[in-house]
Structure 1
């Protein structure tokens, strides 16, 4: 049985040539225009993806100017997206500033005490208090029995209480 190779795809060959010849020019185009140079590689890839999809539209004699036109539109879309993301982040930051009041000094002190607990105790207390899990749900989240979850929660609460009272952990039994 004889295996024959299929003839090379002329579209693929044309695209590979276009990519090889103009990749560096398109990369320099983006590097000169971006504050974050890491974005340039992504935008080059996006530009050549458009070129692949529209390969039949690429003019024979004016390939680089055509690619610059595509790159210009890709860059414009990128900047619009960045502007939207930054605008959303600014709005969320403003909303949080007005929605969440500055913490009371007592709350700041309690938060510092909370950080002194072990990771395990903090997680048990957080699941119960912040997530509102009952002992059955807590047991499922911790991967233990309901009784074990109740004991872990009780012990974590006692350790937190001791720290809040500023007594050494071993002083009470």
Structure 2
């Protein structure tokens, strides 16, 4: 996917942004797709880079990568209701599957129950905690990068992640789905 050139912009600005786009587009798209869907990711990733292009990167604000993740997380928040409906639907699907003996056996073999329960547990988190968990788990961001992406202190990231882990463990019956994090 190529960056649409805007002839009103100086060539050096286009070249710099094109490098940002080429370096980070796939990663940002993958993060959005893991939180929402591939179709949503196509649209939202484009919106992320459009917003970034329009806003301009200011190196004094920190690294490019967390800045782009912050934009992505902000745009995902606009789709919050859709995201929550998706997590709840996955959870309900898993619950319905458990009512059938054959479906329950298949779900256990395929570990589908955990996925459904995890989706329900994620839907039960408040938005701020869920954003920290998903930036860390799906985006692979460190605490420092999550802090930069959400414009919050690193200590707040640690406390939100700790609180979310406790809630997820409780909801999943002491299973540790986020045992490996990027701190």
TM-score, with length taken from structure 2? 0.37
Higher relative contact order (CA 8 A, sep 6+): 2
The structure that has the greater radius of gyration is 1
